[in-house]
Structure 1
Amino acid sequence: MTVERLLPTPEAHDLLDLTAELATRELAGKVDDFEARGEFPREVLRTLGRSGLLGLPYPEADGGAAQPYEVYVQVLEILAGAWLGIAEAVSVHTLSCFPVAGFGTPEQRKMLPEMLGGELLGAYALSEPHGGSDAAGLTTRAVADGGDYVLDGTKAWITHGGKADFYNIFCRTGGPGARGISCVLADASTPGLLPQAPERLMGLRSSAPAQIVLENARVPRDRLVGGENEGFTIAMKALDAGRLGIAACAVGLAQAAVDYATAYAKEREQFGKPIASFQGLGFMLADMATGVSAARALLLHAARLKDAGRPFTVEAAKAKLFATDMAMRVTTDAVQVLGGYGYSADHPVERWFREAKVLQIVEGTNQIQRLVIAREMTR
């Protein structure tokens, strides 16, 4: 199904055409092989970076493309329709550039051209083994020692863990709770920064996260991003934007599932006619397509609020919640449309079904999104 898009500029149309071309040429034919091997597609990301797709929402002066979020999330959507692991990696890298772009010192900001060009791949180290949703309760500690911070602790579920060139490490420099957290920018080469083996995942095997163990890891104090004990504010602002990225990934994944299931239903015959002609299945396809369109509209509304400089935290939570729940339903129904073939790895709906689940968890579980929305409604 052709997606009718209302884009703000002719340049945006060209950008989405370029993205679709890259998705066809660089992604679609490689995804199954990389997923089967569980291999991280670093060179593919470099190609996207050199094409300008890893710094889209950042200013041109910093090496970005100065694209509005309204356009950026639609780029992610197209990428996700071809290879979710790539789209999620682009979203996480974009998130990882935010602390330096928004709060970095002049010296730190000199890294932005390489970050936004994709030559330096980023990771966002907030979650811990015993604290995912409770980010304010993190226990990784940074202790000042002369001109350095000495970091000790463990970070968990870190996308690009062991693959990244730089890590935004959220750590405790003060007392308990949100007010005692800082953000420290650490190079991957930092002694004592020890990536562990990748997690064994249900899906997204080409972009599996890993724990990062910190053992007396020394990071210069001039790598503090923002003020000391101001890291929680940075983390939450980054996650607001990151949730738009995950919602976009969900929309792209679900659109691919709708398109594939519809094409299959038009070709597959039972009782002498295409199964798409049976009302029960046709209604299922209609509901799937409607869900995708509704999620896209909610996502674009939140992105446009961000572009306008208006509050968008709650709308981002709504978009992430609705889009990822929708993607789980749509990919489940796509498997059902294909019947037994949908359960076979010979068709991509099986992979999309497995991948959709993680989107309900990352960048804040959907229970956390409901909490964010309900608090705003009832405060």
Structure 2
Amino acid sequence: MNFELTEEQAMIQDAAKQFAEGVLAPKAAELDATSNPEIMKSHLAQLAEQGFMGVNIAGEYGGTEAGTIAFSLAITELARACASTAVAVSVSNMVAELIQAIGSEAQKSHYLPKLCSGEFAAGSFCLTETEAGSDPAAMKTRAVKEADAWVLNGSKVWISTAALAGVYVVWAVTNPDAPKGKGISCFLVDGDNPGVTVAKPENKMGQKGSGTHEVVFEDCRIPLDAIIGEENQGFKIAVTELCGGRIGIASLALGVASAALDYARDYVQERKQFGKPLAEFQGLQWMLVDNYTEMEAARLLIMQAASLKDAGKPFAVQASMAKLMATEKGNKACYDALQLLGANGYMQDFPLERYARDIRVTSIYEGTSEIQKVIIARSLFSN
């Protein structure tokens, strides 16, 4: 296996790193403290200019066409500086990839250039409901077909960057008499549709700069051709596209954890106790050794999943393994890094408390760690 990056992948990684260090890092603490949407919009507009809002989208639609490995590398570098911005980029790319994979030519030509160029600040993925999270097939949102339109009624929760979205990918029940999960369809809904209401942002523990909202659809009329993919086959789309999203979230967790570990490593070389730097204590060295080793293993799992996806091969189990490893061990890495700073790690004057808050949700969204274990277990016992 060749672990060396291509020239294009290395260039995209370097461009993401420079943007993260030069633009995101100086604003990360302010964005976390204020949740100012203008900062986020500015970040996303600049990222669109550099091609990061359509990393795996074909050039004919305005995308960078660089592949999943490049996408993963970019998300990791962005997350090292600002997890809130990184998750907005990850979700918008996922929306664009879904439209590219499933959409009609008219849908691709209409929506993808707007997502890639930044005309749409973001895209949102509307699947989860109050009683349909880990079990999305239990959703209640309905879409009724009339003579000239589909009419949507229902609500979705925990929707990332919903207030900035130019387009929503929405799942709804279209055949309530079908067996569970068999009568669901997928739709594209414009962000300015008068039947859409975006609630106030949730007051979250972390990733505060990325707004998370309830989105309500009330007699929301959309054209008959707004359906994406085949009618009543939307659940398959959701399951497939979540796999790609898990590569993005695993990459995000890797970035946050790597930033935390690097900060702690530098800190213990400067901080002295008992007359010598903390870095000279073997117990603390081994804390860092264990965490760096675990995150390197996570990185390799992510690269495996991304490579399989780029090759057009099955990658769902590998994506679940990568997300499970990166998010669970990433949480541990952030908490260990915070511990290495002692009381300073608990203070907002240092970034460790933000890293610990930001990474916590990565083992929850895009499928909890428990759901990833279910997916992996099914693969183990399917023969």
What CA distance in whole angstroms lies between the structure 2 residues aligned with 1:117 and 1:320? Answer: 29
Q: Which residue of structure 2 lines up, in the alignment, with residue 113 of structure 1?
A: 113
Cα contact 2:123–2:162 (8 A) shared by 1: no
Q: Which residue of structure 2 lines up, in the alignment, with residue 48 of structure 1?
A: 47
Comparing 243-252 with 14-23, greater Cα deviation is found at 14-23
After TM superposition, give the deviation of residue 313 of structure 1 in Å. 0.4
Aligned to 2:65, the other structure's residue is in SS state: coil
**Mapping of 1:168-207 within 5 angstroms?**
168-174=169-175, 175-207=178-210
Cα contact 1:39–1:207 (8 A) shared by 2: no
Q: Deviations over 1:259-312 (max 9, x none)?
A: 000000000000111001001111101111111111001110111111111110
Comparing 326-335 with 9-18, greater Cα deviation is found at 9-18
1:268 to 254, 268, 271: 271
Asked if residue 66 in structure 1 is aligned to residue 65 in structure 2, the reply is yes
1:23 to 11, 20, 37: 20
The verdict on how the C-alpha distance between 1:102 and 1:362 changes in structure 2, with shifts beyond 3 A counting, is same
- Aligned-pair identity (%): 39
**Mapping of 1:356-375 within 5 angstroms?**
356-375=359-378
Cα contact 2:125–2:169 (8 A) shared by 1: yes
1:279 to 270, 278, 282: 282
After TM superposition, give the deviation of residue 6 of structure 1 in Å. 4.4
Aligned residue identity for 2:29: D
Cα contact 2:249–2:362 (8 A) shared by 1: yes
Aligned to 2:209, the other structure's residue is in SS state: helix
After TM superposition, give the deviation of residue 190 of structure 1 in Å. 1.0
Asked if residue 312 in structure 1 is aligned to residue 312 in structure 2, the reply is no
Aligned residue-pair number:
375
Aligned to 1:183, the other structure's residue is in SS state: strand
Q: Deviations over 1:116-169 (max 9, x none)?
A: 223212000000011100011111000011111111111000001222111001
What CA distance in whole angstroms lies between the structure 2 residues aligned with 1:7 and 1:127? Answer: 38
User: C-alpha root-mean-square deviation of aligned residues, in Å?
Assistant: 1.2
After TM superposition, give the deviation of residue 103 of structure 1 in Å. 1.3
Cα contact 1:239–1:363 (8 A) shared by 2: yes
**Mapping of 1:54-203 within 5 angstroms?**
54-111=53-110, 112-120=112-120, 121-174=122-175, 175-203=178-206
Aligned residue identity for 1:135: P
Q: Deviations over 1:2-42 (max 9, x none)?
A: xxx94432222222221111111110000111110012301
What CA distance in whole angstroms lies between the structure 1 residues aligned with 2:118 and 2:230? Answer: 26
Cα contact 1:92–1:159 (8 A) shared by 2: yes
Cα contact 1:266–1:275 (8 A) shared by 2: yes
After TM superposition, give the deviation of residue 181 of structure 1 in Å. 0.7
Q: Which runs of 4+ in 1 moved over 6 A?
A: none
Cα contact 2:57–2:96 (8 A) shared by 1: no
Cα contact 1:27–1:82 (8 A) shared by 2: yes
Cα contact 1:96–1:168 (8 A) shared by 2: yes
Structure 2's unaligned 5+ residue stretches are: none
Aligned residue identity for 1:116: C
Q: Which residue of structure 1 lines up, in the alignment, with residue 8 of structure 2?
A: 11
Asked if residue 221 in structure 1 is aligned to residue 224 in structure 2, the reply is yes
After TM superposition, give the deviation of residue 356 of structure 1 in Å. 1.2
Asked if residue 327 in structure 1 is aligned to residue 330 in structure 2, the reply is yes
What CA distance in whole angstroms lies between the structure 2 residues aligned with 1:209 and 1:288? Answer: 30
2:259 to 237, 241, 256: 256
The verdict on how the C-alpha distance between 1:129 and 1:206 changes in structure 2, with shifts beyond 3 A counting, is same
Aligned to 1:216, the other structure's residue is in SS state: strand
What CA distance in whole angstroms lies between the structure 2 residues aligned with 1:160 and 1:238? Answer: 18
Cα contact 2:8–2:66 (8 A) shared by 1: no
What CA distance in whole angstroms lies between the structure 1 residues aligned with 2:86 and 2:317? Answer: 23
Structure 1's unaligned 5+ residue stretches are: none
Aligned residue identity for 1:187: D
Aligned residue identity for 2:250: A
After TM superposition, give the deviation of residue 69 of structure 1 in Å. 1.1
What CA distance in whole angstroms lies between the structure 2 residues aligned with 1:374 and 1:335? Answer: 33
